[in-house]
Structures are given as structure tokens and as C-alpha cells.
Amino acid sequence: MAYTDPHDPRWEPLIEAAWEARSRAYAPYSGFKVGAAVLLQDGRLQAGCNVENASYGGAICAERGAICAAVAAGLRPGDLEALVVVTEAPDLTPPCGFCRQVLAEFAEDLPVLLANRSGRALHRLQELLPHAFTGRNLSQS
């Protein structure tokens, strides 16, 4: 069944995993802690947090951390079911452009739930990154 309702109880384990990962975020430079969790179609769940670096450009977002860990555990394109991103920011935190592009590598479209302590909003990757550049474009050179 599609994830079309932000209050669907199936989100709860993902939200919980994302908050737990956020508690381990390494963000000494920005102080902006992010947690993420992806659900694979086989039911496995992988969380991630942002990991910053003294060389600021070396920072890795929570979403990409979750994706990279999931790939190491076997994730391949088409296997992604859903993503959750959590922060304590008053405005819900959407994935950055880099992360949208990385997500598009693994999912044509994806339900993306953004949550903070007081609310949530459900988006779709195709809405966040319309007309994504993909491997299909590369094969048309």
C-alpha cells in the first residue's frame, strides 16, 4: 500500500530510527543535527545522521549517510520504499539538492516524510526534484 498519509502508523518505526540516528549526529560546526531513515522494499530499515568535517565541504548529510549504509547492506536502484528526515528546526527540513540527486539514483519516485517535534509533511521525490538527471540521460550520448 502506498505511503500517502503522513500519519500512517507505518511511519513510526522510521521516525523513531531517524530520531535515534539524529541523537548521534556529528555536527560540531553547524550545530544543525539531522536524522534520516530509509525503508527498503524488503522491510529493512537503515538510518543515518549528518557527519561534519573541519573541511566544511566534507560534510555528509543524514540522507546520504543512510543511503550509503543501505547500499553497503545491499540496496540497489528500485529497492527504496520511503524516506524520513527529522530535525528540531521549527521549519521542516527538506533534503538538500545533492541528496535529492542521490535519492533519484535509487528511486524514480519516493515518499519523503519531513518531521520535527511538532509536525510532519509528506512530499514525493518527483515533486522535490522534477526532471532529474539519471543514468537514462547518460545512455543517450
Which residues are identified as catalytic? 63
Work out whether 37 is an interface residue with ligand THU (CB under 6 A): no
Q: Does 46 bind ligand THU (CB under 6 A)?
A: no
Q: CB–CB of 23/45 below 8 Å?
A: no
Q: How far is the CB of 29 from ligand THU (least distance, A)?
A: 7
Q: Are the CB atoms for 59 and 88 separated by under 8 Å?
A: no
Helix (H) or strand (E) holding 40, with range, is strand 35-40
Please give the size of the binding site for ligand THU, defined by CB under 6 A.
15
Name 72's Cβ contacts closer than 8 Å, sequence gap at least 6.
none
Among 15, 16, 27, 116, binds ligand THU (CB under 6 A): 27
Minimum CB distance to ligand THU smaller for 40 or for 86: 86
Q: Quote the CA–CA distance of 102 and 90 in Å, as a whole number.
A: 26
Q: Which of 19, 37, 40, 63 binds ligand THU (CB under 6 A)?
A: 63
Give me the helix-helix angle, 62-72 and 97-106, nearest 10°. 30
Residue numbers at the binding site for ligand THU (CB under 6 A): 27, 30, 32, 34, 50, 52, 59, 61-63, 85, 93, 95-96, 99
